[in-house]
């Protein structure tokens, strides 16, 4: 049983878009045929075919940023956020919250999660972090991690307080969320409405994604004190949307305020979704353009019609994780997505409606390896986290890294 908590301590140490098939524009998709964009060639709304993009020298020359390394030899960094004073807070999946100040990674962590109770097998561990919008005055940060209790894995969301370069737990906001060594979701963001949005995966139990009474396979929405907003789509529940497999990206369009999310498919069919309150995104009955009925038990369908994604990877695997919208410069309004298995950064160009996908451009293809997260900083720089030490990559001596793309505009 999941819990929404308001305690002061915890036992821890210290819809559819233009159809794209094989790079060719098709007719607008039906309710069961979303746009498909191969990683290297997609279509636009002119009805023609867009030439394949390259992540080599030609593509790099068109990037309006210069690349520099901010931090090296990180231990599987997962998430980051930016403080008003210029510091960058980041998580390492093994249990450290770390800080970069004036371009230098501080040797001592802000906080260390002890093992146990931290559980960081495979994909689990210390995952998301978000700083409060009033961080300069209240020093709150919101942290998501996996832990074990009685041999069972769970996830929880903490509110922590940072002071003088150290942090402590202030309150447990959500506890006993479904957890496992895989499919833990883990992204934490504060929306334009000032509320917390949290992604939770299906914890390797696909059936719970369609159960509105379970918090696995959901995007959640709560206040920063842990209480549930009165306008949530399911009264008394933190559930904001359901039918997710392993969502790991959240970002709001800077003009429309619409919420976008990325989600890992089952070894393919990775998704980009437009998130609406109360909507059902189909897993495990639907992924990408492939309905799983009758292979799955359709009687277990949750509330609402099944939503199709804006974009999916077809038979290719991108493994999209963190996403960010660009708010400055020539890429303003573009969505950037970190790819793990795809080993690239995707630049998704939207149409004038700010929803439909016009084209997808791969950046740094096979250059940086696995990319876990991407975020735009307050100064317009783009920050990229590699994840080559996560057990599925080929790390170099300097991995993992936090890379800054500094604007040239």
DSSP characters for 242-306? E--S-EEEEEE-TTT--EEEEE--SSS--EEEEE-TT-B--TTTEETTEE-TTTS-GGG--SSPB
What does residue 90 show for φ and ψ, rounded to 5 degrees?
-140, 155
Distance CA 409, CA 406 (A): 9
Q: Does residue 375 lie within any of the structural domains?
A: yes
Residue linked to tokens 């038979």: 315
Q: Does residue 53 lie within any of the structural domains?
A: yes
Put the strands of the sheet holding 126-131 in their side by side order: 3-7, 166-178, 152-163, 140-149, 126-131
Counting the structural domains of the chain, the total is: 1
Q: Does residue 169 lie within any of the structural domains?
A: no
Residue linked to tokens 């970069």: 100
Q: Does residue 273 lie within any of the structural domains?
A: no
Check the CA dihedral 78-82-86-89 and report its sign. negative
Global pTM reads 0.87
pLDDT tens over the chain, length 409 residues? 566 654 333 333 333 332 333 222 222 333 333 444 433 333 233 222 222 344 443 455 589 999 999 999 999 999 999 999 999 999 999 999 999 999 999 999 999 999 999 999 999 999 999 999 999 999 999 999 999 999 999 999 999 999 999 999 999 999 999 999 999 999 999 999 999 999 999 999 999 999 999 999 999 999 999 999 999 999 999 999 999 999 999 999 999 999 999 999 998 999 999 999 999 999 999 988 777 655 456 667 899 999 999 999 999 999 999 999 999 999 999 999 999 999 999 999 999 999 999 999 999 999 999 999 999 999 999 999 999 999 999 999 999 999 999 999 9
Q: Does residue 186 lie within any of the structural domains?
A: no
What does residue 10 show for φ and ψ, rounded to 5 degrees?
-150, 150
Distance CA 22, CA 316 (A): 12
Q: Does residue 44 lie within any of the structural domains?
A: yes
Q: Does residue 372 lie within any of the structural domains?
A: yes
Q: Residues 48, 60: contact at Cβ < 8 Å?
A: no
In 3D space, the residue among 273, 208, 211, 282 whose CA is nearest the CA of residue 243 turns out to be 282
User: What is the predicted pLDDT for the residue at 150?
Assistant: 92
C-alpha torsion angle, residues 91, 108, 382, 248 (rounded to 10): 0
Beta partners for 125? none
Distance CA 191, CA 193 (A): 5
User: What is the predicted pLDDT for the residue at 267?
Assistant: 83
- List the domain range (segments joined by +) for residue 70: 17-74+318-409
Distance CA 317, CA 218 (A): 22
Q: Residues 405, 347: contact at Cβ < 8 Å?
A: no
Residue linked to tokens 């949290």: 198
Q: Does residue 348 lie within any of the structural domains?
A: yes
Q: Which H/E stretch holds residue 60?
A: helix 57-61
Q: Which H/E stretch holds residue 138?
A: helix 135-138
């Amino acid at each position: 049983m999941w819990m929404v908590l308001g305690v002061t301590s915890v036992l821890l140490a210290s819809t559819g878009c233009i159809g794209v098939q094989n790079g060719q524009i098709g007719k607008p998709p039906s309710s069961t045929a979303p746009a498909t964009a191969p990683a290297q060639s997609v279509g636009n709304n002119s009805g023609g075919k867009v030439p394949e993009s390259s992540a080599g020298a030609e593509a790099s020359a068109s990037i309006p940023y210069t690349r520099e390394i901010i931090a090296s030899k990180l231990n599987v960094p997962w998430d980051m956020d930016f403080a008003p004073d210029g510091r960058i807070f980041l998580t390492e999946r093994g249990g450290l919250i770390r800080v970069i100040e004036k371009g230098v990674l501080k040797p001592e962590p802000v906080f260390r999660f002890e093992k146990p109770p931290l559980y960081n097998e495979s994909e689990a561990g210390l995952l998301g972090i978000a700083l409060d919008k009033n961080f300069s005055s209240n020093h709150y940060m919101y942290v998501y991690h996996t832990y074990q209790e009685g041999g069972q894995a769970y996830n929880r969301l903490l509110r922590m307080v940072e002071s003088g370069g150290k942090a402590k737990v202030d309150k447990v906001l959500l506890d006993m969320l479904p957890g496992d060594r895989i499919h833990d979701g883990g992204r934490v963001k504060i929306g334009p409405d000032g509320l917390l949005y949290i992604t939770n995966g299906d914890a390797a139990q696909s059936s719970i994604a369609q159960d509105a009474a379970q918090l696995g396979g959901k995007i959640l929405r709560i206040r920063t004190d842990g209480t549930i907003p009165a306008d949530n789509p399911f009264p008394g529940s933190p559930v904001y949307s359901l039918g997710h497999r392993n969502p790991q990206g959240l970002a709001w369009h800077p003009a429309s305020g619409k919420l976008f999310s990325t989600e890992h498919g089952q070894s393919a069919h990775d998704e980009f979704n437009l998130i609406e309150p109360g909507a059902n995104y189909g897993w495990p009955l639907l992924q990408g353009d492939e309905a799983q009925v009758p292979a799955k038990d359709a009687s277990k369908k949750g509330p609402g019609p099944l939503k199709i994604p804006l974009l999916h990877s077809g038979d290719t695997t991108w493994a999209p994780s963190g996403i960010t919208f660009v708010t400055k410069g020539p890429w303003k309004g573009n969505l950037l997505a970190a790819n793990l298995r795809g080993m690239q950064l995707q630049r998704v160009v939207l149409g004038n409606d700010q929803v439909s996908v016009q084209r997808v451009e791969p950046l740094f293809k096979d250059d940086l390896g696995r990319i876990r997260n991407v975020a735009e900083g307050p100064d317009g720089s783009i920050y990229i986290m590699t994840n080559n030490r996560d057990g599925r990559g080929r790390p170099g001596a300097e991995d993992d890294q936090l890379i800054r793309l500094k604007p040239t505009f």
